[in-house]
């Protein structure tokens, strides 16, 4: 493990009384700090902002201590000590100004940094920075659960690894019994703090620190690592990595491996089946899982019972008994250990729990996926892929046949394929990932496993080419360094052993790692002919003109993996009888996956799925309003439908938003608000006078255990349909006029509640929630206005071979396209819904505003209006003949458009659409500047906005090439 300035600074502050005189015990450690201070005053930031912050704060504290007590030094202080301190203060101030506290993952930073700041304040050094309030909040939350007595008992807890944070808060004499070979949980900084703070000098702890200085990575230079020793951690990680990559025990030395296995087993037995990163330092789920896996790969019997008993939680496995955030990689390691047990079916419940947690975490992550133990996103992706591929292998061999279908058919295929796309997309032109040998090794191991998937035929050559290029990079650069700073402790560190193990594994592993049979192949059905056909079609769109063909194919495959789950919801709200084939349905998943992958936005899968649902509901609303509400059977009762819509929205907030039992919105009538619509004969006969609304909605029946059964997954807040019964259209049944109005009321109410009571909307800020409600109502009313306009337009003679001018417009074309027409597109209400999704995933909690200032809100709404108008104009451009045949009002029917030929009119319309594009671009640039000031959160919001714009633009460009709205009616 590489040296850390942070721990070295603490060792440099240890002083001992020798021959009656107090003397700095490790002057070489102080010299190490002096040698490594940068010209501008800081100390190295290995791989994360917090590294530089913690290294510099601890080193500055050491410099101040030495400056205040020069008599403790055997040699004179450097002549420029004051200048060094001033430069350090200036550098730290700059670092703290830029530090993103919210995204920091390093172990214990929430109490280590505040402790250092407090100690420096005692020396008259104060720092103010934007993230200080947030840091203090996190610190208070953490410390509120801490009691000194927790350290005085017999149980070893993780706080022992960071005792320096508790100077002045605990009695260090009462933690003496926790020493292991003189150390406090194998931490040089914690041991140094103990040695400085205990009332009696501890020779054993002094000996430990001398040993670390002499034999640690620093080799007598004075530098020390953040943990020493780390023998179990590095040993089990190295051996399991090599064995999983295909090395045999004989390749690695059978005698030595047997000796290691015996020692691991002895220590597991001694600690009742649990182990930590080094002997006698306590235990954790991560190291225990790797020890179990190592033994299993060596053919030894290893029981996970203690691991399960100690660390299994309700939704995931904990790394430690108490931790701030769950670890994705730890749960992957638990999963792999369970899967390699000789009888994995005995642990089906735990396997499912780990798998579901891993998939849920993947589904909620935006952009780069992160983990608390390694900086590179390729590391947790590698572990996820290895675990899920091994699970599929056992399923294929009929060992885990009872796993839930939703995991096998929906979640796992999407997670694995998204991992594949992201891995391929992030490879550099030199064949590396991040110009890092170790990270490239993670990626090669990932791709070797993913090459096993039966759903990659269309991009298999790209996968194998990426593996070849990655291996070439590793071969060329493997000797450039001994270790890379990737692993997270108090500060980031590197490991020579792990570096070598992962590079050897990547060069040796076979690709593919598994050969799957029919069971896994049957989990997903990909229409390969359509993949190639649609890839060529989409490549003709301007937005995809420079996108590699493999990425178009991959995005199409990913879309088809979402499609089965979308199809389950296809008939959940709107009747499909009397409708033309919904050929748009096959387009929808790609519009989101393609745009998501094109620029590497990588918005979370929950966001993608929910927006896919909103997209196809937009088409279904169009069809329903045009065919049912605007059809001949009902075209003269539009004012009654408007009254229905008004009443739905008047009572929308009166209904409970989330049902506590099912997680789905209650859609039945609320006693507070009643409708003036005639109540059903059944209600009258039963005397239910308190319910004077429509007949019970289909969404009510799901709460009573009837079909359809529509639910929201409360764990991940995405929409999930299980079973359904398609609703009955009033047109194809013998119904009265009142029955038809009742059916329309039920359908529109269900749709409205479905959107408005989505968990992300229900927990959004009042402003965001109101905007969804407002835009939904405007959207539905715009459809009524459109139906009315179409009806008036249809009274004119409309020849099929030329454009007819609308004789009775109620506004100018500009007003119409910016209001009724734009609202009719569904873009504004979908954008309002998307902002709720973004605020729930990008903010720090519920009730967050997606756009926080008046400027942001104004520009975002202007952006949306440009986008909606442009998309409508593209739609009209591509659907001129269809609108003419259906007698629907088109942009070019307005009097502003003059000219006898369609080509002239369409060119004019296209030019106006491009003007709207210019406005869209300007609004996007301004919004990016405004929101980007919020650092990580702002970047996440803008990724979502840019994706929404790209998807909407894709639809517009498709309309130009092909009219995907089939004619409705029969």
Q: Is the pLDDT at 309 greater than 90, yes or no?
A: yes
Tokens standing for residue 720: 């999930």
Looking at residue 867, what is its pLDDT?
97
CA distance 914 to 922: 13
Length of the chain as a residue count: 970
- DSSP designation for 411: I
Question: What value does the mean pLDDT take over residues 507-519?
Answer: 95
Question: What value does the mean pLDDT take over residues 645-674?
Answer: 54
Looking at residue 628, what is its pLDDT?
87
| Cα dihedral 673/675/678/680 (nearest 10) | -50
CA distance 127 to 79: 26
Percent of the chain with pLDDT over 90: 72
Looking at residue 761, what is its pLDDT?
92
Burial class of 31 by CB neighbour count within 10 A (0 to 12, 13 to 18, 19+): middle
CA distance 619 to 726: 17
Residue 578, in any domain of the structure: no
86 with 121, same domain: the answer is yes
Residue written as tokens 């993230």? 131
Q: What is the pLDDT of residues 395-420, one digit of tens each?
A: 999 999 899 999 999 999 999 999 99
User: Do you find a cis peptide bond into 229, omega within 30 degrees of 0?
Assistant: yes
Looking at residue 151, what is its pLDDT?
94
Show the DSSP H helices in 545-697 as ranges: 549-567, 588-598, 605-624, 638-650, 681-686
CA distance 867 to 953: 8
Taking a C-beta distance cutoff of 8 angstroms, is the pair 500, 237 a contact? Answer: no
Count of domains in the chain?
5
Residue 221, in any domain of the structure: no
- Greater confidence (787 vs 740) lies with 787
Distance of CA 766 to the CA centre of its chain: 25
Residue 743, in any domain of the structure: yes
741 with 810, same domain: the answer is no
Looking at residue 695, what is its pLDDT?
30
Residue 420, in any domain of the structure: yes
The residue among 158, 191, 215 that closes a domain is 215
CA distance 603 to 365: 7
17 with 89, same domain: the answer is yes
Q: Which residues pair with 225 in a beta bridge?
A: 3
- The SS3 call for residue 417 is helix
End-to-end CA distance of the chain: 73
Question: What value does the mean pLDDT take over residues 434-446?
Answer: 98
- Domain span at residue 128 reads 5-215
No. of helices (H) and no. of strands (E), the chain: 40, 6
CA distance 955 to 450: 31
Q: Smallest Cα–Cα separation from 26: which of 66, 55, 84?
A: 66
CA distance 779 to 825: 8
157 with 268, same domain: the answer is no
632 with 739, same domain: the answer is yes
Q: Is the pLDDT at 642 greater than 70, yes or no?
A: yes
Looking at residue 359, what is its pLDDT?
97
Lowest mean pLDDT among 187-191, 277-281, 310-314, 842-846: 842-846
Looking at residue 583, what is its pLDDT?
78
535 with 649, same domain: the answer is no
Tokens standing for residue 527: 């229409």
Looking at residue 938, what is its pLDDT?
85
- The SS3 call for residue 343 is coil
Q: Is the pLDDT at 581 greater than 70, yes or no?
A: yes
- The SS3 call for residue 48 is coil
251 with 170, same domain: the answer is no
Looking at residue 716, what is its pLDDT?
40
Q: Which CATH number does the domain housing residue 357 bear?
A: 1.50.10.20
- Phi-psi bin for 899: left (phi > 0), alpha (psi -120 to 50), beta? left
What is the enclosing helix (H) or strand (E) of 18?
strand 15-18
345 with 471, same domain: the answer is yes
- Phi-psi bin for 792: left (phi > 0), alpha (psi -120 to 50), beta? alpha
pLDDT range class, residue 885, cuts 50, 70, 90: confident
Mean pLDDT of the chain: 88
CA distance 498 to 230: 12
Residue 576, in any domain of the structure: no
Q: Smallest Cα–Cα separation from 179: which of 170, 169, 166, 198?
A: 198
CA distance 775 to 760: 16
- Greater confidence (342 vs 105) lies with 342
429 with 559, same domain: the answer is no
Give Dmax (Cα) for the chain. 112
Residue 343, in any domain of the structure: yes
Taking a C-beta distance cutoff of 8 angstroms, is the pair 727, 575 a contact? Answer: yes
Looking at residue 847, what is its pLDDT?
67
What is the enclosing helix (H) or strand (E) of 492?
strand 492-493
Q: Which CATH number does the domain housing residue 146 bear?
A: 1.50.10.160
273 with 180, same domain: the answer is no
CA separation, residue 670 to residues 178, 653, 662, 697, 887 (Å): 61, 10, 18, 12, 40
Q: Smallest Cα–Cα separation from 628: which of 616, 615, 641?
A: 641
The residue among 457, 486, 516 that closes a domain is 516
Please enumerate in sequence order all residues whose Cβ is within 8 A of that of 184, keeping only pairs 6 or more positions apart, or say none: 160, 161, 163, 175, 178, 190, 191, 193, 194, 205
705 with 801, same domain: the answer is no
Q: Is the pLDDT at 757 greater than 70, yes or no?
A: yes
Please state the φ and ψ torsions of residue 752, each to the nearest 5 degrees.
-60, -45
Q: Is the pLDDT at 846 greater than 80, yes or no?
A: no
CA distance 824 to 778: 8
- Sign of the Cα torsion 46, 48, 54, 60 reads positive
Q: What is the pLDDT of residues 588-621, one digit of tens each?
A: 999 999 999 998 889 999 999 999 999 999 999 9
Q: Smallest Cα–Cα separation from 267: which of 236, 240, 238?
A: 236
Residue 595, in any domain of the structure: no
Q: What is the pTM of this model?
A: 0.89
Lowest mean pLDDT among 35-44, 473-482, 689-698: 689-698
Question: What value does the mean pLDDT take over residues 490-502?
Answer: 96
Residue written as tokens 């791709």? 447
What is the enclosing helix (H) or strand (E) of 918?
helix 902-931
Looking at residue 136, what is its pLDDT?
95
Taking a C-beta distance cutoff of 8 angstroms, is the pair 623, 600 a contact? Answer: no
Q: Which residues pair with 720 in a beta bridge?
A: 711
CA distance 17 to 71: 12
Q: Is the pLDDT at 681 greater than 70, yes or no?
A: no
Q: Do the bridges between strand 709-712 and strand 492-493 make them parallel or antiparallel, or are there none, so unpaired?
A: unpaired
Residue 601, in any domain of the structure: no
CA distance 527 to 770: 42
DSSP per residue, 358-395: HHHHHHH--SS---SSBS-THHHHHHHHHHHHHHHHHH
254 with 386, same domain: the answer is yes
Taking a C-beta distance cutoff of 8 angstroms, is the pair 520, 409 a contact? Answer: no
Taking a C-beta distance cutoff of 8 angstroms, is the pair 852, 802 a contact? Answer: no
The residue among 737, 762, 787 that closes a domain is 762
Looking at residue 320, what is its pLDDT?
86
Please state the φ and ψ torsions of residue 826, each to the nearest 5 degrees.
85, -10
Taking a C-beta distance cutoff of 8 angstroms, is the pair 343, 394 a contact? Answer: no
Looking at residue 279, what is its pLDDT?
87
Please enumerate in sequence order all residues whose Cβ is within 8 A of that of 963, keeping only pairs 6 or more positions apart, or say none: 878, 879, 881, 882
Residue written as tokens 């959107």? 755
Q: Which residues pair with 180 in a beta bridge?
A: 183
Tokens standing for residue 611: 């927006």
**Neighbour-count burial for 504-532, b at 16+ CB within 10 Å, e otherwise:** bbbeebebbbbebeeebeebbebeeeebe
What is the enclosing helix (H) or strand (E) of 487?
strand 487-488
- Greater confidence (721 vs 557) lies with 557
Looking at residue 738, what is its pLDDT?
75
Please enumerate in sequence order all residues whose Cβ is within 8 A of that of 51, keeping only pairs 6 or more positions apart, or say none: 44, 45, 106, 485, 491, 492
Taking a C-beta distance cutoff of 8 angstroms, is the pair 285, 307 a contact? Answer: yes
pLDDT range class, residue 657, cuts 50, 70, 90: very low
């Amino acid at each position: 493990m590489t040296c850390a300035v942070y721990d070295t600074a603490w060792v440099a502050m240890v002083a001992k009384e020798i021959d009656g005189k107090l003397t700095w015990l490790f002057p070489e450690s102080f010299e190490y700090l002096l040698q490594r201070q940068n010209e501008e005053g800081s100390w190295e930031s290995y791989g994360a902002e917090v590294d530089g912050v913690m290294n510099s704060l601890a080193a500055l504290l050491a410099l101040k201590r030495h400056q205040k007590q020069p008599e403790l030094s055997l040699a004179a202080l450097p002549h420029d000590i004051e200048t060094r301190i001033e430069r350090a203060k200036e550098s730290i101030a700059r670092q703290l100004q830029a530090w993103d506290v919210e995204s920091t993952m390093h172990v214990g930073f929430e109490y280590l940094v505040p402790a250092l700041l407090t100690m420096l304040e005692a020396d008259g050094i104060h720092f103010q920075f934007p993230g200080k309030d947030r840091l203090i909040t996190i610190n208070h939350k953490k410390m509120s659960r801490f009691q000194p007595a927790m350290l005085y008992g017999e149980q070893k807890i993780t706080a022992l690894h960071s005792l320096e944070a508790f100077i002045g808060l605990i009695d260090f004499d009462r933690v003496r019994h926790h020493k292991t070979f003189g150390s406090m949980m194998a931490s040089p900084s914690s041991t140094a703090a103990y040695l400085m703070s205990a009332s009696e000098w501890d020779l054993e702890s002094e000996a430990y620190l001398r040993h670390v200085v002499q034999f640690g990575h620093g080799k007598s230079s004075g530098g020390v690592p953040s943990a020493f020793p780390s023998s179990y951690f590095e040993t089990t990680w190295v051996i399991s990595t090599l064995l999983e990559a295909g090395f045999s025990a004989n390749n690695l030395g059978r005698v030595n491996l047997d000796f290691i296995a015996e020692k691991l087993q002895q220590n597991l037995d001694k600690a009742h089946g649990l182990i930590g990163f080094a002997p006698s330092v306590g235990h954790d789920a991560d190291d225990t899982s790797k020890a179990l896996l190592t033994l299993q790969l060596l053919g030894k019997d290893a029981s996970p019972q203690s691991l399960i008993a100690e660390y299994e939680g309700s939704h995931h496995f904990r790394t430690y008994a108490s931790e701030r955030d769950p670890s994705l990689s730890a749960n992957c390691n638990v999963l792999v250990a369970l899967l390699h047990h000789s009888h994995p079916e005995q642990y089906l419940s735990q396997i499912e729990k780990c798998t579901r947690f891993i998939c849920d975490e993947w589904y909620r992550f935006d952009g780069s996926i992160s983990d608390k133990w390694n900086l590179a996103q390729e590391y947790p992706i590698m572990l996820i892929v290895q675990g899920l591929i091994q699970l599929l292998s056992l399923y294929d061999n009929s060992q885990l046949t009872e796993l839930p279908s939703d995991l096998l058919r929906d979640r796992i295929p999407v997670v694995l394929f998204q991992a594949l796309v992201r891995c391929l997309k992030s490879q550099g032109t030199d064949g590396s990932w991040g110009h890092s040998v170790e990270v490239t090794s993670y990626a090669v191991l990932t791709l070797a496993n993913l090459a096993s998937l039966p759903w990659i035929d269309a991009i298999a050559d790209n996968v194998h080419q990426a593996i070849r290029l990655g291996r070439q990079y590793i071969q060329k650069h493997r000797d450039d360094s001994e270790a890379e700073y990737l692993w997270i402790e108090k500060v980031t560190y590197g490991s020579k052993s792990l570096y070598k193990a992962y590079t050897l594994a990547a060069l040796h592993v076979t690709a593919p790692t598994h050969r799957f049979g029919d069971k896994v192949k049957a989990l997903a059905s990909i229409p390969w002919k359509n993949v190639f056909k649609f890839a060529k079609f989409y490549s003709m769109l301007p937005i995809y003109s420079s996108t590699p063909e493999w990425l178009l194919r991959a995005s199409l495959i990913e879309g088809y993996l979402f499609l089965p789950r979308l199809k389950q919801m296809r008939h959940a709200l709107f009747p499909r009888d009397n409708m033309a084939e919904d050929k748009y349905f096959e387009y929808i998943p790609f519009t989101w996956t393609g745009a998501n992958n094109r620029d590497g936005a990588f918005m979370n899968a929950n966001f993608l799925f929910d927006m896919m649902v909103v997209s196809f509901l937009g088409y279904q609303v169009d069809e329903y309003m045009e065919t049912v509400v605007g059809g001949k059977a009902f075209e003269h009762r539009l004012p009654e439908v408007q009254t229905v819509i008004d009443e739905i929205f008047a009572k929308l907030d009166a209904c409970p938003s989330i049902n506590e039992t099912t997680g789905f919105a209650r859609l039945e009538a609320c006693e507070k608000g009643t409708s003036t619509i005639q109540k059903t004969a059944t209600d009258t006969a039963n005397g239910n006078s308190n319910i004077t609304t429509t007949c019970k909605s289909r969404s009510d029946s799901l709460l009573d255990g009837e079909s359809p059964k529509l639910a929201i997954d409360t764990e991940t807040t995405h929409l999930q349909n299980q079973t359904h019964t398609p609703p009955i259209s009033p047109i194809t049944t013998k119904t009265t006029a009142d029955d038809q109005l009742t059916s329309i009321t039920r359908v529109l109410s269900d749709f409205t509640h479905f959107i408005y009571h989505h968990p992300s909307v229900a927990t959004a800020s009042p402003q965001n929630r109101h905007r969804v409600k407002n835009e939904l109502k405007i959207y539905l009313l715009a459809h009524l206005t459109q139906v009315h306009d179409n009806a008036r337009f249809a009274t004119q003679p409309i020849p099929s071979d030329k454009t007819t001018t609308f004789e009775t417009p109620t506004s100018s074309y500009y007003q119409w396209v910016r209001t009724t027409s734009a609202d009719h597109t569904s873009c504004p209400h979908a954008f309002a819904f998307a902002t709720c999704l973004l605020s729930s995933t990008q903010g720090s909690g519920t009730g967050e505003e997606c756009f926080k200032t008046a400027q942001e809100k104004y520009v975002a709404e202007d952006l949306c209006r440009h986008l909606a108008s442009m998309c409508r104009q593209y739609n009209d451009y591509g659907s001129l003949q269809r609108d003419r045949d259906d007698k629907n009002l088109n942009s070019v029917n307005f009097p502003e458009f003059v000219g006898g030929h369609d080509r002239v009119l369409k060119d004019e319309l296209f030019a106006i659409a491009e003007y709207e594009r210019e406005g869209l671009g300007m609004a996007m640039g301004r919004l990016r500047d405004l929101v980007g000031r919020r650092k990580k959160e702002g970047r996440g919001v803008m990724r979502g906005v840019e994706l929404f714009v790209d998807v909407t633009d894709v639809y517009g460009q498709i309309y130009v090439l092909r009219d995907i709205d089939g004619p409705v009616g029969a």
